[in-house]
Structure formats: C-alpha cells, structure tokens
Amino acid sequence: MNGLTMRRTATIHPDAARVVEKIAELERDVKPPVLIAQMRLMMKERTRQLALDPPVVGRIVDQSIEGNGSAVWVRIYYPESKGAAPLPALIYCHGGGFVIGDLDMVETICRTICRESRIVVVSVQYRLAPEHPFPCGLEDTLAVISGIKRSGLGLGIDVTRLAVGGDSAGGNLAAVAAQEMGAFLRFQLLVYPVTDLTGSQPSYRDLGTGFPLTAEKMRWYVTQYLTDPAQAQARRASPLMAASLVGQPPALVVVAGLDPLVDEGLAYAARLREAGVKVEVVEIEYFPHGFLGWTRYCKAARDVLRLIANRLEMSLHGSG
C-alpha cells in the first residue's frame, strides 16, 4: 500500500468483509474480560468455521521430538509417496499471539503444503504464554529443529533440505529460529510475522482498529508473552532488533495490507534484503491479519497457500 492516506481509506475486500462479519457473529455474546481458556476454545471454533476441510495426505503421526534436552509434541504430515527416499521438510509454527492456537489451528495449512509441495511438514505444539512465557515457545521451536537435524532421517526426512516457517507469532518464532540455525536451513516462510514487540511501527497507529487483530489486542498478547517490557528490545523476542541478518536462508515474506503488523513484516523483509538475503515479498492488499486461515471464504487465502506450496517445492526439491 502506498502512503497513509490510502491506508486509511482502503476498502476491505468483500471476501474478507464476510469473514470479519462471521467473526463478529461468533463473538457477539462474548463479554470481557474473557478467560484465556475461553479464548482458546473460541479460536478452535473460528478455525472450524473459516478453514476448508483439510485435504488428504499420505499419513499423519503425532509424537514428541527430543532436542536440546527437552521433548516437544509435534504433528508430522507425510505426502503420498511411492518411494522410500527421505523427503525435505518444513518445520511450522502456528500463530495465536503466543497465547492461543494449537496444531488443529493450522491443520488445513499444513496438509495443503504437504500435499502440494510433496514435502514432510512438522507442525510444532510449542508451549503457550502466560503459563510458559518468553522464551519457552522459542526454545521448543529450536528443540524441534535440533531434533530433526539430529534424527530426522529415522523419520523419513532429508536433514539437508529443511525449512522453517510460521504465521503471526509463529512467524516470530520461525524468524528467530532462522537467525540462530540458518546454517541448517534452506528456506524460511514468514506469514504476517511479528518481528517488533515494541508496537512502535506506524501501522499500529494507522491500522490498529476496525479489524479482528487490533493494536490493543496485540499489545495484550505481548504482555502475556513477556515477563518484562524491556525484553521487547531483545533480538530473540523481536527479530527486527538483530544487529545483522547476514547469512540468513532465502525467505518468502507474506503480509496483509490491512494489518497492524504489516510495517514490521515489510521492515524485516527490507533488512533481510539489505543483508544480501534473497527475499520475495507478497503483500495481499485489502485483507487483514489472519487471512491465510480463511480458506473456506477467501480465494486470496487459497491462492497464497498455493504460492507458498510452490515456493517450498522449488526451494526444497529444486524444481522449477
């Protein structure tokens, strides 16, 4: 989007407007304060109504992955395959503001990527705040990558062809993981990522009201995740604060034009590019945060998911 005037006058896409209305209907009788347990149940219902039924894949395995001295629960999706050769893999972290969300939240996303990219997808059930604040979710993500790198071959994974990805809060975890383990990774997928927990980007002001994710909600999530506001300045909490991004794996950064997080996503992509990293930026104008989960109602969500699958296939299989 070009300029603040366009931001303030841009009309939401009709498909997205329908979804926003449906979300308002789901939450009509919900009165604050809302318990976190209730928020998590509400997200489950939202996902059930807004996402397409997940496609069929070869097989699905729920298990724990041992890494860095801890065990983390994951769901592993395998594509239909006639061969026995190990396959490349994407390690994926769901969104939810570090507070809500689970493996079911990204079931359609992960299965679609698995099926269309012909790769294994490892979906991470990282620990959630406020019960498990920063850096617990990050430590779980790093543990899974380490565990896959060490013993992935036994899971049918080619450990030389790994990617990390996530949406929203999961994009934050993926970005930090790429900073710390980029030498092991071929690609990073960042979908409307949280990269600056200070909440100081202009889009917080310009786009912080009127959509399902508001600036106020995002700031509340941050207070649940961090135990000290000063942590927002740390690189492991706000990957945009990194002194250098040299040596990072190639990235696909997807942002939503009507998202209070759009500026920090674009800023992170710009930092990657300045560091000499190959970056593709896809901005979906007239859509708010979270649209990738709205595949039942939004063609844009289905199109972007198809593009993501294509880029992962090209990066990890070397095709195209």
State the DSSP code for 316: H
CB 109 within 8 A of CB 305: yes
Q: What is the pLDDT of residues 165-204, one digit of tens each?
A: 999 999 999 999 999 999 999 999 999 999 999 999 999 9
For residues 267-273, average pLDDT: 98
- C-alpha–C-alpha distance, residues 129 and 231, integer Å: 15
What is the predicted pLDDT for the residue at 260?
97
What is the predicted pLDDT for the residue at 7?
61
What is the predicted pLDDT for the residue at 319?
47
Amino acid at 227: T
**pLDDT higher than 50, residue 2:** no
30-38 LR contacts (CB < 8 Å, sep 24+): 36/99, 36/100, 36/130, 36/224
Residue 37, Cβ neighbours under 10 Å: how many? 9
**Cα torsion 279, 284, 289, 292: sign:** negative
Q: What pLDDT band is residue 4 in, cutting at 50, 70 and 90?
A: very low
For residues 292-318, average pLDDT: 97
CATH architecture of 3-317: 3-Layer(aba) Sandwich (3.40)
What is the predicted pLDDT for the residue at 114?
98
CB 63 within 8 A of CB 57: no
CA dihedral 49, 94, 241, 273 (to 10 degrees): -90
What is the predicted pLDDT for the residue at 9?
55
**pLDDT higher than 80, residue 49:** yes
Q: What is the pLDDT of residues 85-136, one digit of tens each?
A: 999 999 999 999 999 999 999 999 999 999 999 999 999 999 999 999 999 9
- Classify 93 as helix, strand or coil: strand
What is the predicted pLDDT for the residue at 68?
84
Choose between 8 and 160: higher pLDDT: 160
- Classify 59 as helix, strand or coil: strand
**pLDDT higher than 60, residue 310:** yes
Q: Is the pTM of this model over 0.85?
A: yes
What is the predicted pLDDT for the residue at 5?
43
CB 271 within 8 A of CB 256: no
Q: What pLDDT band is residue 82 in, cutting at 50, 70 and 90?
A: confident
Active site residues: 168, 259, 289
Strand ranges across the sheet with 120-124: 59-67, 70-78, 120-124, 87-93, 157-167, 187-191, 251-258, 279-288
Could you give the count of Cα atoms lying within 13 Å of 294 in the half-sphere of its Cβ?
A: 23
